[in-house]
Amino acid sequence: MGRTPCCDKNGVKKGPWTTEEDQKLTDYIQKHGPGNWRTLPKNAGLQRCGKSCRLRWTNYLRPDIKRGKLSFEEEETIIHLHSILGNKWSAIAGCLPGRTDNEIKNYWNTHVGRKLLRMGIDPPRLDLLDLTSIFNPSLYNSSQVNLSRLLGVQSLVNPEILRLANSLFSLPSNFQENQLCNSHVQNQLTPFGQISQIQNIPTCTDLSTLFVPIYSDTQVMQQHNMERLSSNISNFSSQNCQQNEWKNINFGSVLPTLSTPSSSPTSLNSNSNTTSEEERESYCSMLNFDIPNILDVNELL
């Protein structure tokens, strides 16, 4: 026996909502509150299924919906949270007041994802990464760490690259301070859900370096980074950085800053006349290391 349909298909209207239907739904919810979506259409006098009513309310009619173009800060937040959470649109929407999961999903699919892919950068996905590979000893011998390894994930970093990265990138300004993604613990429940991919992390290093802090304010982020830097590398200047003196330094994930002329190494917005290849090369030259044209993040590790 199959699943019973959420509504009687016969006589149920589909497609765009009319203003009369919107008014009926709004009036009913203002009077009785949302919920009990299955019986709501009948009680509200609507020829719709409950699912359709719930979607219309949550994505369009809700009074706290914020309309209009997403701000630069909101875009940065989306990119950063996507790097941590993946396609958890509702979780991302939970960090953006007034925005819906549907809106963010649409925005990602039509703007951000395309923009990053156009640059040859696969949006980093912490949720897809096997963080145990970070502890691969071969990484310690690298003379340079590719920026792509750093995107969205704590990594082994040369302090000089760290300094450069921190000077070029910033975290979104509206992140919640002290929301920590405790990704160092097996199956740890984070503020955004359970991270189950991280297992069997060896005890060879300081696990605290795998924290991914999320800041509410750029200045706070910079201050914390400075504190961490000073405590971690106080005896470790870029001048005496030796080949094998790599350290795990927790500095928060870094992200490419899009569409911010003042801070981004090159104009990366969609109005740019440069080609994606030019953008990528310019970007790489500024960073002084390669961003490969690899679409599978896992290949980088």
Using CB under 7 A, list all residues that contact DNA. Answer: 1, 3-4, 6, 13-17, 35-39, 48, 50-52, 54-56, 59-60, 87-91, 101-103, 105-107, 109-111
Q: How many CB atoms lie within 10 A of CB 119?
A: 19
Q: Considering the complex, what minimum distance in angstroms separates the CB of residue 150 from DNA?
A: 25
Considering the complex, state which of residue 33 and residue 202 has its C-beta at the smaller distance from DNA: 33
Contacts for 21 with CB less than 8 Å, ≥ 6 apart: 13, 46, 48, 56
Q: Considering the complex, what minimum distance in angstroms separates the CB of residue 75 from DNA?
A: 12
CA–centroid distance for 62 within its chain: 25
Strands (E), 57-188: 156-157, 179-181
Considering the complex, state which of residue 83 and residue 209 has its C-beta at the smaller distance from DNA: 83
Considering the complex, state which of residue 107 and residue 251 has its C-beta at the smaller distance from DNA: 107
Residue 155 · residue 149 · CB < 8 Å: yes
- Enumerate the H helices of 178-254 as residue ranges: 218-232
CA-based end-to-end distance of the chain: 46
Q: Considering the complex, what minimum distance in angstroms separates the CB of residue 34 from DNA?
A: 8
Residues 275, 281: Cα–Cα separation, whole Å: 10
Q: Considering the complex, what minimum distance in angstroms separates the CB of residue 48 from DNA?
A: 7
Residue 171 · residue 268 · CB < 8 Å: no
Q: Considering the complex, what minimum distance in angstroms separates the CB of residue 106 from DNA?
A: 4
Considering the complex, state which of residue 112 and residue 151 has its C-beta at the smaller distance from DNA: 112
Considering the complex, state which of residue 89 and residue 169 has its C-beta at the smaller distance from DNA: 89
